[in-house]
Structure formats: C-alpha cells, structure tokens
C-alpha cells in the first residue's frame, strides 16, 4: 500500500458523477479521467490518490484494507464487508443513490405477503416439487443474513449475473432479492415486495477502512475528507 491515502470513487454512471460533484462542492476538484483512467488525484490535497473502481469492488477493497476511503452503497458494504466485523466504518451518508434491497415474489402468490409466509412456502416447496425454492440475487450474503434473522430456511441462493428481476418469469428462480428505487421494474415483471421484506434502505456513503501504516500527511487528509463530506449541507448535495 502506498503511503498516500487511497480514496476509491465509483468508476461509472450517476454514482461517479454525483461523487465527483460532491467532492467539488466540498472544494476538492477531482483530477484524472474517471471514465477512462483508473487513477486520479484530488486538487488541494496532495496526499490523496484516487482509484476509480466499480462500486461493488470498492466495498470489497475497503474490507480487504486495500483502499482507505471509498464512496459506495450501503447495500454493497452490507454484502461484501459486513462479515469482516468492524473492518469498514460508515463515515457519512451522502444523500444520493437511494434504493432499497428487497425480497420480491411472484404477484400470483396471493397467499404470500410476509417473510413468515415465505418461510412456510419454502418449508413445503421441497415436498411438493422435489427441489428447493430458489432465490436469485446479486446479494447472497445479505440474503442469507436477512433470511436467517427472519427464520426462513430450506431455500437455495442462485447467483444472478444479469437482470435479476427476470429470473422468476424465466423459470431460473422463484424469488428474488434485488435493489429497487421506485419498484416499477418489479411491477413490470409481475413481482411484489413482501410487507416485511425490505432488507435495507441503501444510499451512497463515505466509508473507511483502517489507516494504520499511513504517514502524517495522509492521515490528516483522511480526517479532512471525512469531515468535509460529513458536513456538506443537505441542500448542497446532488439531487438523487
């Protein structure tokens, strides 16, 4: 690890645009080309190096201690970093990238409204069909933890690579755990969110890993950035 502070920013999309805009509002211009380059610098803070990474990878790199600070989603931190207890800390909620991670089932399942219903269906599905109920998701860890807390067992997690919401209609899964901001994609795919099926409400956050081993300049840049981003007044934040 370099002695400079590594700040990871999302490498594409609105998450990247909003992150860059937020830093600029805080007085730090992002230099370097997010879309094409992998590295950048921060105007006004010499000890900072910017790494442009996919948001999911930012959460993983934070958990691994390979970057010191990062902007990513609560959902991704929950998925990739929570098993490493205390390794990643959320420093500031940034007010953009709002979305919920939810459990959704086919709308035709008129008898299933709650996680308790899903548990009963999961328990009897095997007897009726000779296979386990499948849950398609990009969030296997979040799914397992949430289902365990709700007492749901007997299901199988299926890794979803593409459009998770299409899995039930395509017959590759019965249930999905996915991220949704308005719910319209779910509705269009004839799915419904369970009444107590919101796993978490996500938004973009500034998160930190351990900074042991960093020099003085990088440490002070760390403190400055944490403070600056936590302090951006709500009205100055990028619109979701």
Partner 1 sequence: MPGKDPALSAALDAQAREIADVFGDAGYELVEPRILQPADIFLERAGEEIRQRTYVFSDPGGAMLCLRPDLTVPTCRYYLERGPGDGSEARYRYHGPAFRYQPAGEDGMHPREFEQAGIEYFGGRDAEAAEVEVATLGIAAVERAGLTDYRIRLGDLGLFSALLRAVPMPERWRRRLMHHFWRPHAFRETLTRLASPRPAPAGEAASLLQQLKGADPARARELVGDMLAASGTPLFGGRGIDEIAERLLDKVRDLDARPLDRAAANAIESYLAVRGHPREALATVTDLAARSAIDIDAALAACDRRLTLLADQGVDLDRSLFSAEFGRNLEYYTGFVFQIEVDGRRGAVPLAGGGRYDGLMQDIGANGPIPAVGCAIHTERLLVAVRGEAAS
CB of 62 or CB of 121, closer to partner 1: 121
Q: Print the binding letters for residues 82-121 with partner 1: x by CB under 8 A, - otherwise.
A: -xxx-------------------xxxxxxxxx--xx-xxx
Question: What one-character DSSP code corresponds to residue 168?
Answer: H
Distance of CA 234 to the CA centre of its chain: 21
Return the number of other C-beta atoms located less than 10 Å from residue 154's C-beta.
14
- Kindly state whether residue 190 participates in binding partner 1, applying the rule CB under 8 A: yes
- Residue 77: CB minimum distance to partner 1, A: 16
Q: How far apart are CA 158 and CA 176, in angstroms?
A: 9
The overall longest dimension of the chain from CA atoms, in Å, is: 64
**Smaller CB separation from partner 1, 99 or 158:** 158
Enumerate residues 6+ apart whose C-beta is below 8 A from 162: none
Task: Concatenate the DSSP letters of all residues of 51-65 into one string.
Answer: EEE-HHHHHHHHHHT
Pairwise CA distance, residues 34 & 172, whole Å = 36
Among 157, 177, 214, 218, the residue binding partner 1 under the rule CB under 8 A is: 157
| CB-based contacts of 71, cutoff 8 Å, min separation 6 | 8, 9, 10, 15, 19, 22, 58, 94, 204, 205, 206, 207
CB of 148 to partner 1, least distance (A): 4
Find the DSSP H helices in 69-139.
Answer: 74-80, 115-129
Q: Which region among 22-30, 45-53, 141-149, 227-235 touches partner 1 (by CB under 8 A)?
A: 141-149
Instruction: Give the residue from 203, 202, 154, 149 showing the smallest Cα distance to 175.
Output: 154
Backbone φ and ψ of 163, nearest 5°: -80, 100
Find the shortest distance in angstroms from Cβ 176 to partner 1. 10
By rule CB under 8 A, what string of x and - marks binding of each residue 49-88 to partner 1?
----------------------------------xxx---
Q: Which helix (H) or strand (E) holds 201?
A: strand 191-202
Q: Identify which of residues 96 and 125 has a Cβ nearer to partner 1 in the complex.
A: 125
Nearer to partner 1, 71 or 115 (CB): 115
Q: Which stretch binds partner 1 (CB under 8 A): 14-22, 38-46, 69-77, 154-162?
A: 154-162
Q: Kindly indicate which of the ranges 2-10, 31-39, 149-157, 216-224 contains the residues binding partner 1, using the contact rule CB under 8 A.
A: 149-157
List the one residue from 75, 100, 174, 178 that touches partner 1 (CB under 8 A): 174
Residues that bind partner 1 (CB under 8 A): 83-85, 105-113, 116-117, 119-121, 123, 125, 128-129, 132-133, 144-145, 148, 150-151, 153-157, 168-169, 171, 174-175, 190
């Amino acid at each position: 690890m370099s002695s400079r502070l590594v700040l990871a920013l999302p490498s594409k999309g609105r998450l990247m645009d909003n992150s860059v805009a937020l830093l600029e509002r805080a007085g730090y211009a992002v230099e370097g080309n997010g879309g094409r380059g992998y590295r950048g610098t921060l105007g006004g803070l010499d000890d900072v190096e910017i790494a442009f990474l996919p948001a999911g990878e930012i959460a993983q790199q934070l958990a691994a201690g390979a970057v010191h600070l990062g902007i990513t989603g609560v959902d991704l931190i929950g998925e990739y970093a929570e098993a490493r207890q205390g390794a990643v800390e959320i420093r500031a909620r940034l007010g953009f990238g709002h979305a919920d991670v939810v459990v959704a089932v086919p709308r035709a399942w008129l008898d299933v409204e709650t996680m308790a219903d899903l548990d009963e269906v999961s328990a009897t599905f095997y007897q009726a069909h000779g296979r386990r109920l499948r849950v398609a998701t990009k969030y296997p860890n979040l799914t397992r933890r949430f289902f365990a807390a709700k007492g749901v067992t007997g299901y199988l997690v299926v890794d979803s690579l593409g459009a998770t919401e299409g899995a039930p209609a395509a017959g590759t899964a019965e249930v999905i755990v996915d991220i949704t901001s308005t719910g319209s994609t779910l509705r269009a795919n004839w799915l419904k969110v369970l009444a107590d099926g919101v796993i978490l409400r996500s938004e973009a956050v500034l998160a930190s890993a351990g900074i042991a081993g960093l020099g003085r300049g990088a440490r002070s840049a760390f403190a400055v950035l944490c403070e600056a981003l936590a302090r951006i007044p709500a009205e100055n934040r990028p619109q979701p």
